């Protein structure tokens, strides 16, 4: 069965600093016309900074759309569409936690809301951490906290961590570490 939709026309409705809203005329797989509203986003990275004591360096940050402080792993948007996600992950790790790492392993990509949002988040696991100074963005206010990986995992399972990228990256990290403990190779 053919599932592909074909773009006929695209109109930029809003051109913001972070998001760009489009309305596209499309043709459905059955040949009928329809419209799709979608947001283009440059993309982002997130990092699970895991200490030698199996603690995850997290950040607490106020998230305006939800009017609450959320506990998350360090993350940030790419500076451009062609920025290397590895370089962006290393930058965000250092800026938000002051950490540099000996090992940075890709643990996949996460699509936060694929029905409307073209954002792709590159997820990483960082180990062999050493710490220096943070370098928050001018409009960034964070509190850094260390949480044992096992406790963070339980918080994800209990629904206490609401941020999707943090949920996904923590679940993947736990699964990958379990594989590693069995002698299987990490991604």
Please say if 138 is a catalytic residue: yes
Q: How far is CA 59 from CA 18, 97, 123, 144, in A?
A: 21, 8, 16, 5
Are 100 and 92 spatial neighbours (Cβ–Cβ below 8 Å)?
no
**Could you give the count of Cα atoms lying within 13 Å of 27 in the half-sphere of its Cβ?**
6
Residue 74's closest CA among 87, 53, 55, 56?
Answer: 56
Given 102, 138, 140, 151, the catalytic residue: 138
| Sheet order of strands, 6-15 included | 6-15, 19-27, 33-41
Active site residues: 138
């Amino acid at each position: 069965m053919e599932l592909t939709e074909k773009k006929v026309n695209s109109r930029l409705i809003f051109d913001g600093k972070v998001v760009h809203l489009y309305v596209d005329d499309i043709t459905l797989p059955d040949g009928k016309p329809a419209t799709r509203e979608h947001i283009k986003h440059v993309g982002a990275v997130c990092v699970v900074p895991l200490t030698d004591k199996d603690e995850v360096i997290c950040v607490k940050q106020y998230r305006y759309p939800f009017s609450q402080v959320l506990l998350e792993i360090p993350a940030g948007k790419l500076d451009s569409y062609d920025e290397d996600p590895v370089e962006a992950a290393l930058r965000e790790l250092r800026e938000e936690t002051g950490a540099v790492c000996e090992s940075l392993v890709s643990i996949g990509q996460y699509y936060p809301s694929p029905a409307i949002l073209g954002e792709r988040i590159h997820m990483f696991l960082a180990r062999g951490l050493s710490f220096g100074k943070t370098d928050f963005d001018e409009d960034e206010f964070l509190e850094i906290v260390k949480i044992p990986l096992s406790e963070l995992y339980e918080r994800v399972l209990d629904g206490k961590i609401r941020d999707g990228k943090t949920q996904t990256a923590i679940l993947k990290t736990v699964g990958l570490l379990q594989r590693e403990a069995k002698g299987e190779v990490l991604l």
